[in-house]
């Protein structure tokens, strides 16, 4: 390994191709954290020359390059191990200045900046060798278009956007436009200097005062190790970026056709940035979706809990620790599970899967995802798949209503994966596993336990509103018996207390009521039997109105079956709430049943006692 400080003129005026491997991440630098600091560096060195201050180098950080073998007559090439974001941005900034010089008829400086952005003797075999930097596959067309348009007006025409826009729909042309704007502003600041004077200062500042530490790797150096060590120099890499680089590096060493492998298998991850790199809340933290997928995928493969903090390290350890699957096969397998994962968001809301994932989101239980990756990838049958989802949903919802802890779910689902992997990912084996769980941290609540919680808990206070709303929506759904219209809920309804929390003004107790009666009423307010769903606009109008008015309003405006049924209640009190609790509970047994036994081989297995 050889490291040396080199001015930008030495790096870019040499006839060389700096090639970004296809398995590195796309261009991700953005204005606030990346472009602006680089512009500050350029402006700082230019202003120093402008006022005649002591000229000193401005270090832009390090890049790591690996020598590539090239045929005679081809342009000398280096692989960019680290620094692709910085090099790409510098080229876009230089191209913006070059094009400004052309528009302003500053021929000498146009040629000078052209030498910093183009190779003058490109190869006939590879026309793209005209570019000093050649980014990863997914960015190449945007880079080519941006680097060759020659004016901001031509770029706007290329992307069919309005004149003056700063957003072309991709970071590469956006970056070019950002530097184009900043450079024009700086050039226009000149009072005593001519345009050529300021261009001369800018040219020499960029060429001589900006310095990179260039690390050239030797034959014995490990590019992958260097890449992992230095990735924090720029925008932090996602664990998924490290996994991608690691797998393609190994695939290349194993002789795979990595270019074809990338185009056929991996490219959708880089193309669909809005999906895979979207930040998703998981508990109190936000994670990128592709990292969450990798954690679920690795949990399934390892059959063990995976740490998000050490995701890449655990992935690398799994791959290298006695795993005889080739890198290419692993990339293909990973992609097949990714398609299953992406499909979770594509199910119709009326399908069994779509309904399951909607309820799973309300339960905020992502630990089930690894099991579902395998179950929905190759289900035993559609009927068995639906039954599998029924059992799993019943297990999770019953535990949620019983307010049982989630703390042990990571281990429960890992044990579930181990059991199903050793048998089959079938509903019968899932049922066997769930019935065998014992204790509050793992048990599947029996009907008696479920009823005690559903009818006896102040559920509005004890359970998250998202979960309470989901249970009420499920009850509403099952109340449609085919005789009435099947109405889909298209908006997020709010939870309404039928007897209001401020009941004293319009819902008086009998004159002979005791303090105990008052306390009982306060306690019953928050039971399922006193809760319903209404629109956000209807909720305030109901407020603390007496029962007769509230019932009339619900009959006039609500189309929900659970609200229409309230018309038969002549009064609303603690007894009415108790009766409605029981009615609603009977419906939940239809939605979330719990068989008491399962057939294991030829033997009937009895679940834990209901007591």
At 57 the three-state DSSP class reads coil
> Last residue of some domain: 408, 427, 448?
448
Q: Please indicate, yes or no, whether residues 166 and 33 belong to a single structural domain of this protein.
A: yes
Is 241 domain-assigned? no
Q: Please indicate, yes or no, whether residues 270 and 220 belong to a single structural domain of this protein.
A: no
Distance (Å, whole) CA 397 – CA 403: 10
At 202 the three-state DSSP class reads helix
Is 602 domain-assigned? no
> Last residue of some domain: 191, 210, 235?
235
Residue 315 pLDDT greater than 90, yes or no: no
Domain around 141 = 2-235
Q: Please indicate, yes or no, whether residues 393 and 424 belong to a single structural domain of this protein.
A: yes
SS (H, E, C) 220-246: CCCHHHHHHHHHHHCCCCCHHHHHHHH
Contact 489, 359 (CB under 8 A): no
Residue 233, pLDDT score: 46
Counting residues of the chain whose pLDDT is more than 70, the rounded percentage is 91
Distance (Å, whole) CA 356 – CA 470: 11
- The backbone torsions φ and ψ at residue 354, rounded to the nearest 5 degrees and listed phi first, read -60, -40
Q: Please indicate, yes or no, whether residues 300 and 417 belong to a single structural domain of this protein.
A: yes
Q: Please indicate, yes or no, whether residues 206 and 280 belong to a single structural domain of this protein.
A: no
Range with lowest mean pLDDT among 130-144, 263-277, 482-496: 482-496
Residue 220 pLDDT greater than 50, yes or no: yes
- The backbone torsions φ and ψ at residue 235, rounded to the nearest 5 degrees and listed phi first, read -65, 125
Q: What is the mean pLDDT of residues 173-202?
A: 91
Helix (H) or strand (E) holding 276: helix 273-276
Q: What is the mean pLDDT of residues 537-545?
A: 78
Q: What is the mean pLDDT of residues 266-276?
A: 90
Residue 66, pLDDT score: 87
Kindly provide the residue ranges of all beta strands, DSSP E only, lying in 283-377, ordered along the sequence.
Answer: 285-288
Confidence of residue 276 (pLDDT cuts 50, 70, 90): very high
Distance (Å, whole) CA 135 – CA 356: 42
Contact 65, 230 (CB under 8 A): no
Residue 283 pLDDT greater than 80, yes or no: no
Confidence of residue 192 (pLDDT cuts 50, 70, 90): confident
Q: Please indicate, yes or no, whether residues 214 and 137 belong to a single structural domain of this protein.
A: yes
Contact 369, 361 (CB under 8 A): no
What is the chain's mean pLDDT, rounded? 88
Q: Please indicate, yes or no, whether residues 298 and 381 belong to a single structural domain of this protein.
A: yes
Confidence of residue 232 (pLDDT cuts 50, 70, 90): very low
Is 609 domain-assigned? no
Q: Please indicate, yes or no, whether residues 170 and 285 belong to a single structural domain of this protein.
A: no
- The backbone torsions φ and ψ at residue 526, rounded to the nearest 5 degrees and listed phi first, read -100, 15
Contact 428, 494 (CB under 8 A): no
Q: Tell which phi-psi region holds residue 55, choosing left (phi > 0), alpha (psi between -120 and 50) or beta.
A: beta
Is 247 domain-assigned? no
Q: What is the mean pLDDT of residues 249-277?
A: 90
Is 493 domain-assigned? yes
SS (H, E, C) 365-425: CHHHHHHHHHHCCCCCCHHHHHHHHHHHHHHHHHHHHCCCCCCCHHHHHHHHHHHHHHCCC
SS (H, E, C) 463-513: CCHHHHHHHHHHHHHHCCCCCCCCCCCCCCCEEEECCCCCCCCCCCCCCCC
Range with lowest mean pLDDT among 359-373, 543-557, 594-608: 594-608
Distance (Å, whole) CA 357 – CA 389: 10
Give the residue with greater pLDDT, 88 vs 25: 88
> Last residue of some domain: 448, 481, 515?
448
Q: Please indicate, yes or no, whether residues 173 and 259 belong to a single structural domain of this protein.
A: no
Residue 609 pLDDT greater than 50, yes or no: no
Q: What is the mean pLDDT of residues 575-579?
A: 94
- The predicted-structure confidence for 461-488, as pLDDT tens digits, reads as follows 999 999 999 999 999 999 986 666 666 7
Confidence of residue 24 (pLDDT cuts 50, 70, 90): confident
Q: What is the DSSP string of 313-339?
A: HHHHHHHHSS--S-HHHHHHHHHHHHH
Contact 24, 83 (CB under 8 A): no
**CA nearest to 607, candidates 475, 385, 434, 441:** 434
Residue 426 in tokens: 């079938």
Q: Please indicate, yes or no, whether residues 119 and 42 belong to a single structural domain of this protein.
A: yes
At 81 the three-state DSSP class reads strand
Residue 535 in tokens: 């629109």
**Which is it for strands 210-217 and 58-67: parallel, antiparallel or unpaired?**
parallel
- The predicted-structure confidence for 26-65, as pLDDT tens digits, reads as follows 899 999 889 998 998 898 889 888 877 667 778 888 788 8
Is 19 domain-assigned? yes
Contact 61, 119 (CB under 8 A): no
What is the number of domains present in the chain? 3
Residue 600, pLDDT score: 46
Q: Please indicate, yes or no, whether residues 328 and 294 belong to a single structural domain of this protein.
A: yes
Give the residue with greater pLDDT, 143 vs 306: 143
The distance between the two most distant Cα atoms of the chain, rounded to a whole number of Å, is: 105
Is 429 domain-assigned? yes
pTM of the model: 0.68
Is 544 domain-assigned? yes
Q: Please indicate, yes or no, whether residues 231 and 313 belong to a single structural domain of this protein.
A: no
């Amino acid at each position: 390994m050889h490291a040396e400080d080199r001015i930008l003129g030495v790096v870019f005026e040499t006839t060389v191709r700096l090639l970004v491997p296809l398995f590195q991440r796309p261009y991700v630098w953005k204005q606030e954290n990346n472009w602006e600091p680089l512009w500050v560096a350029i402006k700082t060195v230019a202003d120093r020359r402008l006022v005649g201050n002591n000229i000193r180098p401005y270090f832009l950080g390090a890049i790591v390059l690996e020598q590539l073998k090239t045929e005679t007559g081809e342009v000398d090439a280096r692989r960019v191990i680290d620094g692709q974001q910085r090099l790409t941005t510098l080229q876009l900034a230089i191209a913006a200045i070059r094009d400004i010089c052309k528009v302003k008829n500053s021929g000498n400086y146009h040629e000078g900046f052209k030498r910093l952005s183009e190779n003058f003797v490109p190869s006939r075999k590879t026309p793209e060798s005209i570019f000093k930097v050649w980014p990863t596959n997914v960015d190449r067309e945007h880079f080519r278009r941006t680097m060759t348009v020659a004016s901001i007006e031509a770029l706007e025409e290329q992307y069919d956007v309005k004149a003056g826009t700063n957003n072309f729909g991709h970071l590469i042309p956006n970056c070019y436009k950002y530097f184009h704007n900043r450079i024009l502003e700086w050039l226009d600041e000149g009072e005593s200097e001519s345009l050529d004077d300021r261009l001369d200062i800018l040219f020499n500042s960029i060429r001589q005062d900006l310095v990179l530490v260039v690390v050239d790797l030797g034959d014995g150096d490990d590019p992958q190790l260097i890449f992992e060590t230095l990735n924090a120099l720029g925008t932090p890499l996602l664990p998924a970026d490290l996994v991608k680089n690691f797998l393609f590096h190994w695939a290349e060493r194993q002789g795979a056709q990595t270019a074809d492998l990338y185009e056929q298998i991996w490219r959708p991850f880089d193309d669909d940035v809005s999906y895979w790199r979207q930040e998703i809340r998981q508990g109190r933290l936000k994670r990128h979706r592709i990292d969450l997928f990798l954690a679920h995928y690795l949990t399934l493969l390892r059959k063990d809990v995976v740490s998000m903090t050490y995701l890449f390290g655990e992935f690398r350890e799994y791959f290298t620790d006695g795993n005889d699957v080739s890198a290419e096969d692993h990339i293909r397998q990973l992609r097949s599970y990714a398609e299953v994962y992406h499909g979770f968001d594509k199910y119709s809301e009326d399908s069994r899967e779509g309904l399951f994932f909607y309820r799973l989101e309300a339960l905020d239980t992502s630990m089930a995802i690894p099991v579902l990756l395998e179950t929905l990838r190759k289900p035993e049958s559609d009927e068995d798949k639906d039954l599998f989802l029924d059992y799993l949903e019943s297990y999770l919802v019953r535990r949620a209503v019983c307010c049982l802890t989630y703390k042990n779910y990571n281990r429960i689902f890992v044990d579930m994966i181990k059991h199903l992997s050793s048998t089959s990912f079938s509903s019968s084996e899932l049922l066997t596993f769930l019935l065998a769980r014992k204790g509050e941290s793992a048990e599947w609540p029996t009907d008696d336990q479920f009823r005690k919680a559903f009818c006896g808990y102040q559920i509005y206070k004890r359970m998250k509103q998202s979960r309470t709303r989901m249970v009420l929506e499920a009850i509403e759904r099952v109340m449609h018996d085919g005789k009435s219209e099947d109405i889909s809920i298209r908006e997020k309804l709010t939870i309404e207390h039928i007897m209001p929390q401020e009941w004293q003004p319009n819902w008086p107790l009998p004159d002979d009521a005791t303090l105990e009666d008052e306390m009982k009423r306060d306690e019953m307010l928050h039971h399922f039997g006193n809760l319903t769903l209404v629109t956000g606009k209807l909720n305030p109008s109901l407020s603390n109105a007496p029962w007769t008015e509230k019932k009339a309003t619900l009959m006039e405006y609500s189309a929900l079956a659970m609200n229409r049924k309230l018309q038969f209640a002549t009064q609303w009190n603690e007894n009415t709430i108790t009766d409605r609790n029981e009615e609603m509970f009977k419906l939940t047994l239809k939605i979330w049943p719990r068989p008491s036994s399962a057939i294991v081989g030829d033997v009937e297995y009895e679940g834990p006692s209901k007591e």
